[in-house]
């Protein structure tokens, strides 16, 4: 018996629509803040559709920027980790 080769997957076509921060259509994916990517199979039927958007929002109750807040959270977790290590070492 010979080995059966799997059938190759059908070729797909991709259509992408990107929109920049000013609301204008763009061809640059790096400048896009929202858009839609659609993949079609060999027969022209839609295989998948992915919509995306990027939004920067400030947390209203946070007095500092989000990265600064996350650094403080990381520092606090490291201090807790060190404290647990010291407690376990001296007991």
Q: What is the predicted pLDDT for the residue at 21? A: 86
Per-residue pLDDT tens for 27-42? 888 888 899 988 888 8
Whole-structure pTM value: 0.46
Question: d(Cα 67, Cα 54) in Å, to the nearest integer?
Answer: 17
Question: Which of 39, 33, 38, 4 lies closest to 18, judged by CA?
Answer: 33
Q: What is the predicted pLDDT for the residue at 11? A: 60
- What's the order of all strands across the beta sheet hosting 25-26? 25-26, 13-19, 34-40, 46-53
Per-residue pLDDT tens for 59-78? 888 888 888 999 999 999 99
Question: Which of 34, 38, 77 lies closest to 53, judged by CA?
Answer: 34
Question: Which of 76, 26, 33, 34 lies closest to 51, judged by CA?
Answer: 34
């Amino acid at each position: 018996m010979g080995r059966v080769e799997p059938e190759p997957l059908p070729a797909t076509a991709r259509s992408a629509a990107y929109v920049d921060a000013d609301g204008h259509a763009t061809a640059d994916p790096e400048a896009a803040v929202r858009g839609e990517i659609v993949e079609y199979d060999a027969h022209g039927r839609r295989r998948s559709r992915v919509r995306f958007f990027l939004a920067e929002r400030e947390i209203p109750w946070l007095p500092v920027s989000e990265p600064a807040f996350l650094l403080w959270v990381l520092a606090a977790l490291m201090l807790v980790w060190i404290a647990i290590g010291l407690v376990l070492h001296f007991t």
